[in-house]
Amino acid sequence: MAEYDYDLLVIGAGPGGYVAAIRAAQLGLKTACAESRETLGGTCLNVGCIPSKAMLHASEYFDAAKNGTMANMGIEVTPKLNLDVMHGQRRDAVKQLTGGIEFLFKKNKVDWKKGFATFQDAHTVKVGDETVTAKNVIIATGSSVTPLPGVEIDNDKQVVVDSTGALELKAVPKKMVVIGGGVIGLELGSVWRRLGAEVIVVEFLDQLLPGMDGDVRKEAAKIFKKQGMELRLSTKVTGCTVKGKKATLTLEPAAGGESETLEADCVLVSIGRRPNTTGLGLENIGLELNQRGQIETDHEFRTKVDGVWAVGDVIPGPMLAHKAEDEGIACAENVAGQTGIVNHDVIPGVVYTWPEFAGVGLTQEEAIAKAGGDKTKVKVGKFPMMANSRAKTNHEPDGFVKVIADAESDRVLGVWAIASVAGTMIAQAAQAMEFGATSEDIAYTCHAHPTHSEAIKEAAMGVQGKPIHI
Ligand code: FAD
Ligand code: NAI
């Protein structure tokens, strides 16, 4: 009889966990995956990436019809919102994709253990009422919304909500206050603004989108303001009271000062996410968390406890689905005795608003800091979308592409893009960087015309000092 029930038990079936389980099974490991949710796919498929993109896509059409974009192209329509249908198509997308993971589990013979998992010891895990033993365990439990003291989230009431609640609003709020001008706040704030809400974003820092390139952050503020969002930067929320269907927030300048109140029909709390480790029984295996509540691993995704591995939002790094997936694959390969690697220097990030904001690698500020503060060691080329023939023809003038390269070696250090399809464009930059490209390599690569991607080529030509179209 085998010593353990499974070669591998994965805890959590989000993009980190389900991908790890499938890869492990493909490599011949007897694999199970514990998931406490009703459906597979984790945050991303159930309440994150997929449903938010379904609402962003649909609301973008509504906005284009309402704000004159379509009329400018000779299509005159007066849109009427059917929010139930919009929510329906979102739920359909989620159902199909989560069902798809269930199909993949069956196809690859991954056993789904339904229930919440708690370690008894490093090789024994209680999942619901069942006890499962495994030679290896991957923790892929993901993350949940960070609460804001004094602002109590109640998704059922639909007044103070988190991202999950904001995806399910039954009516368009008249006035929505978004706390946190990061990715979730801007994506979901955009959805409800497009559908008719007055949206006010309250952000603690002096710019939106922390972590992105400085020029991108400045441009983001201009673009969202132009679209009608009100931005209250360098401002903090100090409290919230709810009476019936109305919330009253108290705000203060981030540096301290006089407070004021702000009323809203809906408040979205989106100030970040934190790792899920409560109830996992980590104390039973002697695994400690770092100061940010994350599980630390080495570059092979091994924790300090033999046979226990971790990937995705629960470990350090950007909380992104594709980062979790790549770690899941690499970790499973390492469990199977192969060499799985993730290059954490080349992980693209995309904000799926209109236009999209995307980047990969270093920001200009980071590149200069890495060069010891010497600006001459970093070369930058920038190309406005206004001068890109396709963007101009499509009436999409906002944005630019910025290529950042090492002044000596010309190696590309980072690429940033604001464009309607920046999320798609950034893949070519990531690939170029993965192959160690120089800006000259990109500048001399033939790009199809007319495409938005030509702006990347032109920005790279800018690093060389010789763009054609500006
Ligand atoms: P998760 O997807 O969080 O999955 C973890 C799973 O583990 C969950 O299903 C949970 O129920 C389960 N679990 C936890 N503890 C236990 C336990 N003890 N026992 C059993 N099961 C357990 N990222 C992008 O890259 N692109 C996007 O467009 C994007 N959009 C987003 C939009 C929103 C609104 C949100 C909230 C997030 C978005 N993200 C996006 C982030 C993305 O969802 C996460 O980075 C990704 O889901 C992390 O994957 P994971 O596998 O680490 O964890
Ligand atoms: P975030 O980290 O992107 O943004 C949070 C924002 O809130 C920051 O700008 C921060 O300065 C601000 N903030 C923090 N405390 C505050 C306070 N008390 N008052 C006002 N502002 C405050 O976090 P967000 O948007 O909640 O998203 C969580 C995670 O989900 C992110 O790490 C992101 O990677 C992931 N995600 C990714 C998406 C994508 O890839 N398109 C979409 C949505 C989420």
Read off the pLDDT of residues 3-51 as tens digits, 9 standing for 90 and up. Answer: 999 999 999 999 999 999 999 999 999 999 999 999 999 999 999 999 9
Structural contact between residues 311 and 328, judged by C-beta atoms closer than 8 angstroms = yes
pLDDT value, residue 466:
85
Q: Ligand 2: distance of its center to the CA of 391 in Å?
A: 29
Task: Judge contact between 201 and 193, C-beta under 8 A.
Answer: no
For the cut 90, the answer to whether the pLDDT of residue 431 exceeds it is yes
Query: Does the annotation flag 320 for ligand binding?
Result: yes
| Atom 24 of ligand 2, nearest CA residue | 272
Residues 162-184 have a mean pLDDT of: 98
pTM (predicted TM-score): 0.98
Mutate to test the pocket of ligand 2, among 184, 323, 360 (most ligand atoms within 8 A of CB): 184
- Nearest-atom number in ligand 2 for the CA of 270 is 26
Q: Is the CB of 313 under 6 A from ligand 1?
A: yes
Residue 114 identity? K
The total of other beta-carbon atoms located within 10 Å of residue 369's CB is 13
* Domains and their CATH numbers in the chain: 6-145+274-336 (3.50.50.60), 155-271 (3.50.50.60), 348-464 (3.30.390.30)
Would you call 299 a catalytic residue per the annotation? no
**Could you tell me the pLDDT band of residue 117, with boundaries at 50, 70 and 90?**
very high
pLDDT per position as a tens digit, 365-407: 999 999 999 999 999 999 999 999 999 999 999 999 999 999 9
**Nearest residue to 140 via CA among 50, 49, 45, 35:** 35
Q: Could you please report the per-residue DSSP string of 172-220?
A: --SEEEEE--SHHHHHHHHHHHHTT-EEEEE-SSSSSSTTS-HHHHHHH
Could you say which ligand is closest to the alpha carbon of residue 114? Answer: 1
pLDDT of residue 2: 80
Question: Confidence class of residue 318 from pLDDT cuts 50, 70 and 90?
Answer: very high
Asked if 268 and 177 touch (Cβ cutoff 8 Å), the reply is yes
Reported confidence tier of residue 262, pLDDT bands at 50, 70, 90? very high
Q: What is the DSSP string of 297-315?
A: --TT-B-SSTTEEE-GGGS
3-state secondary structure of 93: helix
Q: Of the residues 57, 449, 452, 469, which is catalytic?
A: 449
Average pLDDT of the segment spanning 358-369: 98
The yes-or-no verdict on residue 414 having pLDDT over 90 is yes
Please write the tens of the pLDDT for every residue from 83-109. Answer: 999 999 999 999 999 999 999 999 999
53 annotated among ligand-binding-site residues: yes
Q: Check residue 222 and report its DSSP letter.
A: H
Mutate to test the pocket of ligand 2, among 50, 164, 183, 234 (most ligand atoms within 8 A of CB): 183
Indicate whether residue 272 lines ligand 2 (CB < 6 A): yes
Calculate mean pLDDT across residues 303-308.
98
What confidence score (pLDDT) does residue 1 get? 63
| Average predicted confidence (pLDDT) for the chain | 97
CA of 270 relative to ligand 2 center, distance in Å = 6
* Binding site membership of 236 for ligand 2 (Cβ less than 6 Å): yes
Residue 304: pLDDT band (50, 70, 90) is very high
Q: CA-CA distance, 239 to 251, in Å (whole number)? A: 7
